[in-house]
Amino acid sequence: MTETAPRPTLEAVAARAGVSRATVSRVVNGGDGVRDPLVERVRRAVDELGYVPNQAARSLVTKRHDAVAVVVAEPETRVFADPFFALQLRGISKELTAHDNQLVLLLTEGRDDHARVGRYLAGGHVDGALVFSLHLDDPLPGLIRRAGVPTVFGGRPGWSDGDGDSDGGDVVYVDSDNRGGARDAVRHLVGLGRTRVAHITGPLDQTSAADRLDGFRDVMPDADPRLVVPGDFTPAGGERAMRGLLDHCPDVDAVFAANDLTAAGALRVLREHGRRVPEDVAVIGFDDMLAVTEQTDPPLTTVRQDIEEMGRLMARLLLRGLDRRTAEVPGATRSGVVLPTTLVRRASA
């Protein structure tokens, strides 16, 4: 523990400068109405004593912290294991830093800790919050609403019940066109002449995963139900799902995986079983994360979404809402922004 000397007080500064407490307060808080020579004397006393204004008291008055919380509704282990979050945080960090706002990342061990996150958000420590990777039954949206901090969501929130947000009009989010991207991927597989196209889903309590499944069904409305198998956005989930597919549908000739990590797991299992990619089974992922697509064998065909840009836009929309001077966000509606996706063709499909 660094044991610090007691902090110099406002009174000490006033005594040193030979002025009243109120004068010091006015100078320190940037107020007007103090004559220049007095301002100079107060400033010198502040410097000499190393006085630091009590920021907690001060921000009670200004109600501004120049700090933004980021909450990822996943355990910290996943935040560090999945490069998706690092990319989104990179975009957020660049935008907040450009506006001299502090990025405050609130980490948790899991959902049990979300009440504590809600308390921190309610505690007057940040001007707003950026929240992503929400799951349907997560208590966070309610906690955030009660905390009363302006919030922008990463990914379209899934609630539409009578929970006070039913009109959806006051929720702002940044998302990708998950459904359209999924349609592009599945159409590409069909265009290659594949007839037994499988889908390994993401966690279906997240709208991104549900929307990608909807896109798959748009193109394959009559798919064999055994060709749709659950995954969880992780390589281990992709491996498990691919093993199940090979067991129950050995004639599978294409896989649309809900994200790149899932596809990487599926590719490993296909190789283990001696299936050639793309000759025997074509594979497409979603995300286009370099950290994953550079490592897969063969190189992964995937649906690209600009994850870093999503983070940047979340931060920009929030700062605009807080009346900071930021650039316009093209294409933003009252609900936010939905970014387009692109199919990136490599060797796996």
**Which residues here bind a copy of itself, judged by CB under 8 A?**
1-4, 7, 50, 52, 54-57, 59-60, 65-67, 76-77, 80-81, 83, 86, 89-90, 93-94, 97, 100, 102-109, 113, 116-117, 119-120, 122-125, 128, 144-148, 150-152, 170-172, 317-318, 321
d(CA 209, CA 140): 19
Dist CA 193 CA 301 (whole Å): 16
Query: Which CB sits closer to a copy of itself, 160 or 342?
Result: 160
Residue 170 CB burial class (10 angstroms; 0-12, 13-18, ≥19) = exposed
Do 252 and 228 touch, CB atoms closer than 8 A?
no
Beta strands 254-257 and 197-200, pairing class: parallel
Minimum CB distance to a copy of itself smaller for 170 or for 280: 170
Q: Distance (Å, rounded) from C-alpha 304 to C-alpha 285?
A: 9
Q: How far is the CB of 313 from a copy of itself (least distance, A)?
A: 13
**Closest separation in Å from C-beta 2 to a copy of itself:** 5
Nearer to a copy of itself, 245 or 317 (CB): 317
Degrees to nearest 5, angle at CA 278 with 224 and 259: 65
Q: Which is nearer to a copy of itself, 94 or 187 (CB)?
A: 94
| Residue 237 CB, nearest approach to a copy of itself (Å) | 19
3-state secondary structure of 147: helix
Query: Whats the size of the chain, residue-wise?
Result: 349
Query: Which residue number, 152 or 303, has a Cβ lying nearer to a copy of itself?
Result: 152
Shortest approach of a copy of itself to residue 111 CB, angstroms? 12
Backbone angles phi, psi at 148, to 5 degrees: 75, 25
> Minimum Å distance from CB 255 to a copy of itself?
26
